[in-house]
Structure 1
Amino acid sequence: MSVEEVAQAKNAVEFSRENLESVLKRRFFFAPSFELYGGVSGLYDYGPPGCAFQANVIDVWRKHFILEEDMLEVDCSMLTPYEVLKTSGHVDKFSDWMCRDLKTGEIFRADHLVEEVLESRLKGDQEARGLTKDANANAQEDADKKKRKKKVKEIKAVKLDDNVVKEYEEILAKIDGYSGQELGELMIKYNIGNPVTGEALEPPMAFNLMFETAIGPSGQLKGYLRPETAQGQFLNFNKLLEFNNHKTPFASASIGKSFRNEISPRSGLLRVREFLMAEIEHFVDPLNKTHPRFDEVKNIKLRFLPREVQQSGSTEPIETTIEDAVATKMVDNQTLGYFIARIYSFLMAIGVDSNKLRFRQHMANEMAHYAADCWDAELKTSYGWIECVGCADRSAYDLTVHANKTKEKLVVRQKLEEPVQVTKWEIELTKKLFGPKFRKDAPKVESFLLNLSQEELEAKAKELKAGGKIVFEVEGMDSQIELDDKFVSIEQVTRTEHVREFVPNVIEPSFGIGRIIYSVFEHVFWSRPEDSARAVLSFPPLVAPTKVLLVPLSNHPDLSSVAHQVSKVFRKEKIPFKVDDSGVSIGKRYSRNDELGTPFGVTIDFESAKDGTVTLRERDSTKQVRGTVEEVVKAIRDITYNGVTWEEGTKSLKPFETQSE
């Protein structure tokens, strides 16, 4: 088949999630953890092909970002003390909204519940208007219902008022941005309760998603399993800066497991409780967020869904270059735009369908107060649009809060070409009076005062001038402290500085590897038109779990000897391969490896024993060519690892005609 014929074949049979999941589970890409004991919701194990695919995706990620961008990789502990996550804000704010049925005790995640109910009503409206989906889509939804372990009320074909339809669509476009109170108001307004019984639910309440634990045998050191890999990178900032010879900008990166105690895990690998993350923290001068390599990506055209479009109730993206997106300030700055473009390139390399990718900007009420801008790379699946990568400008928040808490400076010191006059607030302490007044707590009080920010010093100076004293509290001390001008003085002082000191801003691309992996599964899955039972996973060769299927036509000793020699060549070349010398037909052997996404097949026949030539088969088109083992191995290596096309890589090989499989 030609490239055009392959493209047509991939779209000839309607996608079926049920068929895909059957293949993934039957071939052990993944399976529920502890399945013999009934399983635990939101936990999955990867089998051999799933492990290999994940490892290949991570390998591409590491080369694409860490190696190409000269990043500094760290591997930090998954156990995190309470104080770290209290300071970062996770203890107080890392929550989703849940609501409870007081009669049954059943718990729902509020935003998911609102989303499901409104989507169901819109489907009922479509049916009433005669705008039903195709049979395949309805069959998919029926299969999804069966998988839910509770019976959901049948969707009634009820025609909705046009204004109500518009309201529902606008709500769904903004579903990620609602607060708990707003979700509760929507539930009351649209009469959303338990989808099975119809009973009203408690108002949404915040549920912290972190897994709590105790560190050490005493149980006194409270901790959590980390919800992200970022905090370890922030806490190692000074070490990383020193390792980088105190030069900025620079980036750190980390790949590892994170944990979130999801309220209602669903959608297979898309919403789980233990997952692999890959995160980057790019530290940049807040006064200069240009990127030296921006010109390399500026012409990449992407599909953007900015907040203004979402606020209008639309989900129609704007297609433009990353250069124009930055120039018009739709994307806040060059470095953020650069990483958005690099995220796109990475996703294309591992098999994402560009037509099923968009970058959605966070709504104002969705974004952290300290963030300058934030975009999510969303991938379209049968579950809808799924957030797979976040790319945020986190300002200087993280380093600042950890520095304030620990009283350790997390700053960059930059030598100035010319000295500058700087006016700052400075505090002077009469330390000889602190010992008699505070005794053992004197160092705590001194440290608190000496680490006040410029804004805090200015406020305290006004307080001291107005009332003759300052009043404050120090953590670990029971009562308020009052100090008059005998103890402290706060004045503005102008000094000549030769060094600029600043807290860098952070651009953070954060990748949910499991979500990306599942989305790629959907994007590359198809069935052959001549036989829909013959499924194919069209992984790019670079990330395919196994690159080559080695197929001796029979178990004849001559062919076994050649297969052994060819296997030695593949091992030496470090090309992952499998041998299938089972007795079934060659067509069946290829077919079951198409399900595993193996891009190449090498057939050994009796001609191979005579002249050393073998046949090379391409998975999607089933085209075959013939050449020596050395020529075939070179073609496989060039196509897999050097980005060469099939046509270019096999141009020196001879076409091989065979009966259709």
Structure 2
Amino acid sequence: MATSTTKTGAPLDRATFESLLRRRLFYTPAFEIYGGEKGLFDYGPPGCALQNNLVDIWRKHFVLEEDMLEVDCTQITPAAVFKTSGHVDKFADWMCKDPKSGEIFRADHLVEQVLEARLKGDKEARGQTVEIDQAKDAKRKKKKVKDVQAVQLDDAVVKEYEETLAKIDNYGGEELGQLIKKFDIKSPETGVDLEPPRAFNLMFQLTIGPSASTPNGYLRPETAQGQFLNFQKLLEFNQQSMPFASASVGKSFRNEISPRSGLLRVREFLMAEIEHFVDPESGKRHPRFAQVKDTKMTLLNRNVQLEGSTKAEELTIGEAVASKLVDNETLGYFLARIQMFLLRLGVDYSKLRFRQHMANEMAHYAADCWDAELRTSLGWIECVGCADRSAYDLTVHRNKTGASLFVRETRAEPLKIEEYQVDIDKKRFGPKFKKDAKAVEQAVEALSQELREKMSLELEKEGRITLDVPAVGNGKVELEKDLVKIEKRTRVEHVREYTPNVIEPSFGIGRILYSLIEHVYWSRPEDDARGVLSFPPPVAPTKVLLVPLSGSDDLRPYLQQLTYKLRRMGISSKIDDSSASIGKRYSRNDELGTPLGITVDFQTVKDNTVTLRDRDTTSQVRASEDEICAAAKAIVDGEETWEDVAKRLPKFEGQEVD
């Protein structure tokens, strides 16, 4: 169950927190004046700036530092692409319907919510301290859900519930249906039995072009496919050099069954995805793995989950790869780099873990997958997925289209290969088998080396072989030695062809954004109604608040001059010259996460000095305008901390007045 605490460890009041985000216009429900639409949100100015800063840091951390090739592919995709990739058949979640009200529920989420509510009721009945999620409780009361009653459960039942929750992501539709019956889970709307779970494809269908009579395309549910389809062009752009990575940032769309968790489950969202193409024969080693091998990480492996536990262990990524808990160096390298990125944003390490996918929840293309999950008031939220997609995507698209989605490289040393080769006498083959000749020829060519060796001996001994060809006659075809020859020969390969494997880190920017805001949120002990968002300066939507001590016209030129200087330095700033007290003006911008405040007062007119205020400590220093601007630049760029600046510039007392 969720543990909702703020940055300082105090209980998080979700109603107050959500109110701050909407009141300060980080985001707002889309189409609200028309009644809104579930799962669709608009970002306001601070939300846009925060999202842009996250993406900018992502690009620097990955695209720039890893020398990736960034592409921007279309959001509209022909149906054939997703049919080939498997999304049409397999990109689905399980849904249940209330036959009385028509309300739709996502099956795994419903089981999870009901069992968590019952466990909370058990703790309340036992007199244990239970954190109350006000928003969820109000919703349950409105829907008359009986599962939140304080009822003590048998210890065996509590254990069964906890084990079920630990494995909830591993259940398929039939198993979820069995759990709903076993635990007597009813519709939260009407209390009636739900219909059995059925698969619901999450892609939005659309019609491309005016002549199409039926839907022939989809809005993409991920940005990956465009990168795979352009692989050969990217390889050529990279001068045929392997390994390499492509990257993409863009909107994706998923028709979520029941989006009820704000920015955490939406139908339109921003993704940042990387496709790292690697030679499978390299052992998927990474040249920079040694740089990250000592990084400590919290890992929850699949075996622990299957035992009904969520107990994670902390170990270095080097230890995890060496023990094969994490399959290979490249996968491990990116897991470590993902953690570094999240911590750079300001994520709380104690609320970060990497959870390995269990077999049944693994995407259809994945050989191994780990999710970076962030703990929020709504529980552990998957924010980044890192999958080993093996060679799946390039292989299926190559087989479907015949495109050259593979690597061809000259071998350093020629490779000698002994193999059984087949020679067909096509002059006799055609007249003998007529219309079936092609099918028989394909069956011969498809023989494995093992069967070729066996049939070579039969031809030599018996003078004929019998071959299975299901499409011809009774399914059996006899070939005599004058029609086909099978001999062991040595072949020399000077060129190697292979299909790369792919390691894919996939980032949900909106989920990271929301989880980060929760992690940096707190309130001052003297006034818990005043929220503070302690974004690291590079992440904060606005970097500097400019505040005149009074409305005097004498101060305006200094504000304009500061604005100009900061803009030239690439630092975003905002002037608050309202009639509110200076303390209230500071407080309003603490809610927006603005890390620094510069105050212009009448001392500025005398000696051109200004004060610089730190958001988190509220302490201030005073120095010349140029020194303060330089200090702000150093803090925003991450070259200095407030503690560094406070040591070298004179401390200032005053101004923090409500």
**TM value normalised by structure 1:** 0.90
Q: What are the Cα deviations for residues 407-433 of structure 1, in whole angstroms up to 9, with x where unaligned?
A: 223211232221111246767777889
Q: What are the Cα deviations for residues 228-287 of structure 1, in whole angstroms up to 9, with x where unaligned?
A: 000011111101111111111110001001110011011100000011000000011112
- Matched length: 642
Alignment partner of 1:279 is 2:310: no
Return the match for 1:223 from 214, 217, 220.
217
Structure 1 residues 418 and 466, CA, compared in 2 at 3 Å: closer, same or farther? same
* Alpha-carbon separation, structure 1, partners of 2:127 and 2:550: 57
* Alpha-carbon separation, structure 2, partners of 1:117 and 1:278: 33
* Alpha-carbon separation, structure 1, partners of 2:618 and 2:446: 67
Return the match for 1:245 from 239, 250, 255.
239
* Alpha-carbon separation, structure 1, partners of 2:501 and 2:643: 46
The residue correspondences of 1:323-338 to structure 2 (distance < 5 A) are 323-338=318-333
The residue correspondences of 1:296-307 to structure 2 (distance < 5 A) are 296-307=291-302
Deviation at 1:569, TM superposition (A): 0.5
Q: Work out whether residues 101 and 200 of structure 1, in 8 Å CA contact, stay in contact via their aligned partners in 2.
A: yes
Structure 1 residues 425 and 350, CA, compared in 2 at 3 Å: closer, same or farther? farther
Alignment partner of 1:62 is 2:59: yes
Partner of 2:125: 128
The residue correspondences of 1:418-429 to structure 2 (distance < 5 A) are 418-423=413-418
SS of alignment partner, residue 248 of structure 2: strand
Return the match for 1:195 from 188, 194, 202.
188
Partner of 1:179: 172
Partner of 1:84: 81
Partner of 1:155: 148
Partner amino acid for 2:226?
A: G
Structure 1 residues 505 and 385, CA, compared in 2 at 3 Å: closer, same or farther? same
Partner of 2:469: 470
The residue correspondences of 1:493-642 to structure 2 (distance < 5 A) are 494-642=490-638
Identity %: 62
Partner of 1:169: 162
Alignment partner of 1:214 is 2:210: no
Structure 1 residues 456 and 145, CA, compared in 2 at 3 Å: closer, same or farther? farther
* Alpha-carbon separation, structure 1, partners of 2:79 and 2:405: 20
Structure 1 residues 223 and 452, CA, compared in 2 at 3 Å: closer, same or farther? farther
* Alpha-carbon separation, structure 1, partners of 2:454 and 2:582: 85
Partner of 1:97: 94
SS of alignment partner, residue 369 of structure 2: strand
Partner of 1:377: 372
Structure 1 residues 58 and 457, CA, compared in 2 at 3 Å: closer, same or farther? farther
Q: Work out whether residues 471 and 483 of structure 1, in 8 Å CA contact, stay in contact via their aligned partners in 2.
A: no
Q: Work out whether residues 452 and 486 of structure 2, in 8 Å CA contact, stay in contact via their aligned partners in 1.
A: no
Q: What are the Cα deviations for residues 473-493 of structure 1, in whole angstroms up to 9, with x where unaligned?
A: 9xxxxx999998699988775
* Alpha-carbon separation, structure 2, partners of 1:500 and 1:357: 42
Deviation at 1:375, TM superposition (A): 0.5
* Alpha-carbon separation, structure 2, partners of 1:405 and 1:226: 19
Q: What are the Cα deviations for residues 89-108 of structure 1, in whole angstroms up to 9, with x where unaligned?
A: 10000000011122322211
Partner of 2:12: 15
**TM value normalised by structure 2:** 0.91
* Alpha-carbon separation, structure 1, partners of 2:236 and 2:408: 11
The residue correspondences of 1:444-463 to structure 2 (distance < 5 A) are none
Alignment partner of 1:362 is 2:357: yes
Return the match for 1:112 from 109, 114, 117.
109
Q: Work out whether residues 298 and 352 of structure 2, in 8 Å CA contact, stay in contact via their aligned partners in 1.
A: yes
Q: What are the Cα deviations for residues 502-546 of structure 1, in whole angstroms up to 9, with x where unaligned?
A: 111100000011110000111011111101111111111101000
* Alpha-carbon separation, structure 2, partners of 1:352 and 1:238: 37
Q: What are the Cα deviations for residues 209-246 of structure 1, in whole angstroms up to 9, with x where unaligned?
A: 00011111111571100010000111111011111111
Structure 1 residues 586 and 285, CA, compared in 2 at 3 Å: closer, same or farther? same
Partner of 1:264: 258
SS of alignment partner, residue 193 of structure 1: coil
Q: What are the Cα deviations for residues 167-203 of structure 1, in whole angstroms up to 9, with x where unaligned?
A: 1000101111101111111111111121233211121
Deviation at 1:153, TM superposition (A): 3.3
Q: Work out whether residues 357 and 369 of structure 2, in 8 Å CA contact, stay in contact via their aligned partners in 1.
A: yes
Partner amino acid for 1:531?
A: D
Partner of 2:40: 43
Return the match for 2:198 from 186, 205, 218.
205
Alignment partner of 1:404 is 2:395: no
Deviation at 1:139, TM superposition (A): 3.9
* Alpha-carbon separation, structure 1, partners of 2:24 and 2:604: 31
Partner of 2:336: 341
Deviation at 1:452, TM superposition (A): 8.3
Q: Work out whether residues 13 and 529 of structure 1, in 8 Å CA contact, stay in contact via their aligned partners in 2.
A: no
* Alpha-carbon separation, structure 1, partners of 2:81 and 2:476: 29
* Alpha-carbon separation, structure 1, partners of 2:448 and 2:551: 81
* Alpha-carbon separation, structure 1, partners of 2:656 and 2:632: 22
Q: Work out whether residues 49 and 541 of structure 2, in 8 Å CA contact, stay in contact via their aligned partners in 1.
A: yes
RMSD over aligned CA atoms reads 3.1
* Alpha-carbon separation, structure 1, partners of 2:19 and 2:604: 37
Q: What are the Cα deviations for residues 18-37 of structure 1, in whole angstroms up to 9, with x where unaligned?
A: 11110110111101111010
* Alpha-carbon separation, structure 2, partners of 1:427 and 1:34: 67
* Alpha-carbon separation, structure 1, partners of 2:512 and 2:329: 25
* Alpha-carbon separation, structure 2, partners of 1:504 and 1:425: 27
Partner amino acid for 1:602?
A: I
- Greater displacement, 87-96 / 284-293: 284-293
Q: Work out whether residues 303 and 359 of structure 1, in 8 Å CA contact, stay in contact via their aligned partners in 2.
A: yes
- Greater displacement, 621-630 / 189-198: 189-198
Structure 1 gaps of 5+ residues are 1-7, 474-478
Q: Work out whether residues 29 and 36 of structure 2, in 8 Å CA contact, stay in contact via their aligned partners in 1.
A: yes
* Alpha-carbon separation, structure 1, partners of 2:86 and 2:452: 25
Partner amino acid for 1:129?
A: R
Partner amino acid for 2:544?
A: V
Deviation at 1:471, TM superposition (A): 4.3
Alignment partner of 1:24 is 2:21: yes
Q: Work out whether residues 202 and 256 of structure 2, in 8 Å CA contact, stay in contact via their aligned partners in 1.
A: yes
SS of alignment partner, residue 69 of structure 1: coil
Structure 1 residues 88 and 138, CA, compared in 2 at 3 Å: closer, same or farther? closer
Q: Work out whether residues 306 and 361 of structure 1, in 8 Å CA contact, stay in contact via their aligned partners in 2.
A: yes
Q: What are the Cα deviations for residues 66-94 of structure 1, in whole angstroms up to 9, with x where unaligned?
A: 00000000100111111110111100000
Partner of 1:255: 249
Structure 2 gaps of 5+ residues are none
* Alpha-carbon separation, structure 1, partners of 2:538 and 2:293: 26
Q: Work out whether residues 547 and 600 of structure 1, in 8 Å CA contact, stay in contact via their aligned partners in 2.
A: yes
